[in-house]
């Protein structure tokens, strides 16, 4: 007998918009090919966080600026501090998808100048945090998920506010803007073996920002 109960309907805070399966599989594969070039030009790294530990997810960037963390703190850098080279250009397919998904949103003019790419191997996670190193908080953060599914966490305006988890799958897109822009959020868990994409291991998130 199947005793599984239907999942309760998901109520997300205003300003956090989840588009399930927004990127069809063939287009995800296209994004993965473009991503491979970014990863070759700027291999993902674990970087130092406040408090002295290292990030659980490995990260890299493309675009005009890249988010970075080290003993000097959290910030955007126009060059990759690990190589001194410019970040790879944002692939046209990345830019296209980011601009398409905001077209019907409250932020239709959003044009990212930075894409922070996070790679989560099995067991990796990201603690609750706010994205607050960008110049203009009226601009949203747009996140495309590729690869393994993850339990995403959305909390409140304070780190100690209760957070709720919901599943994001490959091809899902999250928009976080307006009154949700500064909410604490994170990634609690990766579900290994759930990726529909042969070309990658683990989960990648492409997080598009207006950084400068
Ligand atoms: O991987 C994700 O979906 C979330 C990433 C994130 O919160 C961040 O890069 O600030």
> Is residue 80 in some structural domain?
yes
Which residue owns the Cα nearest ligand 1 atom 7? Answer: 186
> Is residue 205 in some structural domain?
yes
* Domain, as residue range, for 154: 16-209
Question: Which pLDDT band, with edges at 50, 70 and 90, does 51 fall under?
Answer: confident
What's the 75 CA to ligand 1 centre distance in angstroms?
15
Could you tell me how many residues make up the chain? 212
Contact 187 CB / ligand 1 (< 6 Å): yes
pLDDT score, position 31 = 98
What's the whole-model pTM score?
A: 0.95
What tokens appear for 76 in the block?
Answer: 């955007």
Which residue owns the Cα nearest ligand 1 atom 6? Answer: 186
DSSP run (H or E) holding 41: helix 25-41
> Is residue 130 in some structural domain?
yes
> Is residue 125 in some structural domain?
yes
> Is residue 127 in some structural domain?
yes
Question: Which pLDDT band, with edges at 50, 70 and 90, does 10 fall under?
Answer: confident
Reported as a single tens digit per residue, the pLDDT across 89-118 is: 999 999 999 999 999 999 999 999 999 999
pLDDT score, position 9 = 72
> Is residue 4 in some structural domain?
no
SS3 per-residue string spanning 77-103: ECECCCCCCECCCCCHHHHHHHHHHHC
Contact 59 CB / ligand 1 (< 6 Å): no
> Is residue 2 in some structural domain?
no
Domain count, the chain: 1
Checking if the pLDDT of 173 tops 80, the result is yes
Question: Which pLDDT band, with edges at 50, 70 and 90, does 6 fall under?
Answer: low
Checking if the pLDDT of 69 tops 70, the result is yes
Environment class of 30 (CB within 10 Å of its CB; exposed 0-12, middle 13-18, buried 19+): middle
C-alpha gyration radius of the chain: 16
What's the 61 CA to ligand 1 centre distance in angstroms?
13
Alpha-carbon torsion angle 167, 170, 171, 174, nearest 10: 40
Reported as a single tens digit per residue, the pLDDT across 112-170 is: 999 999 999 999 999 999 999 999 999 999 999 999 999 999 999 999 999 999 999 99
Instruction: Classify 32 as helix, strand or coil.
Output: helix
Contact 207 CB / ligand 1 (< 6 Å): yes
Q: What is the CATH number of the domain that holds 129?
A: 2.60.120.590
The three-point CA angle 90-120-171 to 5° equals 60
> Is residue 9 in some structural domain?
no
Per the CB < 8 A criterion, the answer to whether 153 and 187 are in contact is yes
């Amino acid at each position: 007998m199947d005793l599984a109960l239907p999942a309760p309907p998901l109520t997300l805070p205003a300003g956090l918009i989840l588009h399930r399966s927004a990127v069809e599989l063939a287009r995800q594969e296209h994004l993965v090919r473009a991503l491979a070039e970014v990863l070759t030009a700027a291999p993902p790294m674990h970087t130092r966080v406040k408090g002295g530990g290292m990030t659980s997810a490995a990260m890299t960037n493309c675009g005009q600026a890249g988010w970075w963390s080290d003993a000097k703190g959290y910030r955007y850098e126009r060059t990759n501090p690990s190589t001194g080279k410019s970040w790879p250009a944002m692939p046209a397919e990345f830019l296209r998808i980011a601009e398409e998904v905001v077209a019907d949103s409250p932020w239709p003019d959003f044009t990212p100048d930075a894409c922070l790419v996070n790679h989560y191997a099995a067991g990796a996670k990201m603690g609750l945090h706010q994205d607050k190193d960008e110049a203009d908080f009226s601009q949203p953060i747009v996140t495309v998920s590729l690869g393994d599914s993850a339990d995403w966490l959305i909390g409140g305006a304070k780190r100690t506010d209760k957070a709720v988890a919901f599943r994001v799958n490959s091809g899902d897109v999250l928009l976080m803007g307006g009154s949700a822009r500064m909410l604490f959020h994170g990634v609690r868990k990766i579900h290994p073996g759930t990726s529909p994409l042969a070309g990658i291991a683990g989960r990648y998130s492409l997080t598009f920002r207006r950084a400068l």
